[in-house]
């Protein structure tokens, strides 16, 4: 009888360390405590979500928006209004006719405008009817790979003819003249004429732009612009 205490102690130890029959033959048995979380595989991001530019994600100030790059047809932009409750950005496309379909206000002219310029136009339209105050954040997401058309450079330049407008930069009159080989020997750099397809004429002083470092005097070209570099009347 004096061995019974030891037998009972041994039984307690064995029962505490050996899984029960149901545990050993249950495929779903987890020997870890129930409170230990089981790691989950990370969820992949949906493949069809469009990228959002860092500008739209980071800033709440319209002063930080781009004021150099001109938008063209088939460009994609990220758009949001800071005062919106969800404050989520939307991806919008500039249509073939140069308009951007903006929530609430519908199509608005966008081609040839910078993100900053267009954002202030949208802000004014929203505040007329829908918002007491609207902070519009707009940033270029993706530049269209489609050709933006051509400009035509002729007159006193080294290589006259049509030029494709690049899709990845703001193409200016000075850049078009440089691509045409530069000025001819007797070119009048101060009176470069730009004629739009609607008949509008502009005179650009490229001497200020190129030689005097005044980029504000330059001009962004549009499809079908004709750039004419005249000759000086007197070679001085």
CATH of the domain at 111: 3.30.1950.10
Q: Is the pLDDT of residue 21 over 50?
A: no
Mean pLDDT on 77-103: 87
Tokens at 158, concatenated: 């080294």
In this predicted model, what pLDDT tens digit does every residue of 33-52 receive, in sequence order? 444 443 333 333 333 334 44
State the Cα–Cα distance between residues 139 and 133, nearest whole angstrom.
20
CATH code of residue 182: 3.10.560.10
- Pairing type for strands 226-229 and 99-102 reads unpaired
Q: What is the mean pLDDT of the chain?
A: 78
What would the mean pLDDT of 209-227 be, rounded to a whole number? Answer: 91
pLDDT at 40: 37
- Residue 32 confidence (pLDDT): 46
In a domain, 90, yes or no: yes
Could you tell me if residue 40 is inside a domain?
Answer: no
Taking residues 119-131, report their average pLDDT.
Answer: 93
Chosen domain end from 142, 164, 187: 142
Report residue 141's pLDDT band, with 50, 70 and 90 as the boundaries: confident
Boundaries of domain holding 128: 54-142
Q: Do residues 217 and 172 make contact, with C-beta atoms less than 8 angstroms apart?
A: no
In a domain, 114, yes or no: yes
Measured on CA atoms in the order 29, 30, 35, 40, is the torsion positive or negative?
negative
In sequence order, the β-bridge partners of residue 151 are 163
Q: Does residue 121 or residue 57 have the better pLDDT?
A: 121
Do 136 and 163 reside in the same domain of the chain? no
Element (H, E) at 115: helix 115-129
Share above pLDDT 70 across residues of the chain, in percent, rounded to a whole number:
72
pLDDT in tens, 73-87: 888 899 999 988 776
Q: What is the pLDDT of residue 4?
A: 54
Task: Please give the Cα distance from 50 to 230 (Å, whole number).
Answer: 47
Sheet hosting strand 90-93, strand order edge to edge: 90-93, 76-81, 136-142
Lowest mean pLDDT across 8-12, 29-33, 103-107, 117-121 = 29-33
Please report whether residue 105 resides in a domain.
yes
Band (12; pLDDT cuts 50, 70, 90): very low
SS3 readout for the chain: CCCHHHHHHHHHHHHHHCCCHHHHCCCCCCCCCCCCCCCCCCCCCCCCCCCCCHHHHHCCCHHHCCCCCECCCCCEEEEEECCCCCCCCEEEEECCCCEEEECCCEEEECCCCEHHHHHHHHHHHHHHHCCCCCCEEEEEEECCCCCCCEEEEEECECCCEEEECCCCCCCEHHHHHHHCCCECCCECCCCEEEECCCCCEEEECHHHHHHCCCHHHCCECCCCCEEEECECCCCC
pTM, two decimals, is: 0.48
| Burial zone of 20 (CB within 10 Å; 0-12 exposed, 13-18 middle, 19+ buried) | exposed
pLDDT value, residue 118 = 95
Instruction: Give a yes or no: residue 100 inside a domain.
Output: yes
């Amino acid at each position: 009888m004096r061995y019974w205490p030891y037998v009972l102690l041994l039984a307690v130890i064995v029962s505490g360390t050996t899984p029960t029959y149901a545990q050993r033959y249950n495929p779903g048995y987890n020997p870890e405590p129930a409170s230990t979380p089981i790691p989950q595989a990370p969820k992949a991001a949906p493949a069809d979500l469009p990228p959002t530019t860092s500008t739209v994600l980071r800033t709440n100030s319209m002063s930080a928006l781009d004021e150099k790059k001109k938008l063209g047809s088939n460009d994609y932009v990220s758009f949001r209004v800071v005062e919106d409750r969800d404050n989520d950005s939307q991806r919008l496309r500039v249509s073939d006719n140069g308009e951007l379909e903006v929530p609430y206000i519908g199509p608005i002219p966008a081609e040839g405008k910078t993100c900053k310029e267009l954002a202030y136009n949208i802000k004014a339209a929203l505040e007329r009817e829908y918002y007491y105050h609207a902070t519009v954040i707009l940033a270029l997401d993706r530049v269209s790979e489609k050709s933006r058309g051509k400009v035509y450079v002729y007159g006193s330049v080294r290589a006259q003819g049509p030029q494709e407008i690049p899709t990845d930069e703001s193409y200016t009159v000075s850049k078009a003249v440089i691509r045409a080989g530069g000025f001819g020997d007797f070119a009048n750099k101060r009176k470069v004429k730009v004629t739009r397809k609607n008949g509008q004429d502009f005179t650009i002083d490229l001497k200020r732009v190129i030689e005097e470092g005044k980029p504000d005097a330059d001009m962004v070209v549009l499809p079908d612009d004709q750039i004419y570099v005249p000759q000086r009347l007197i070679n001085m």
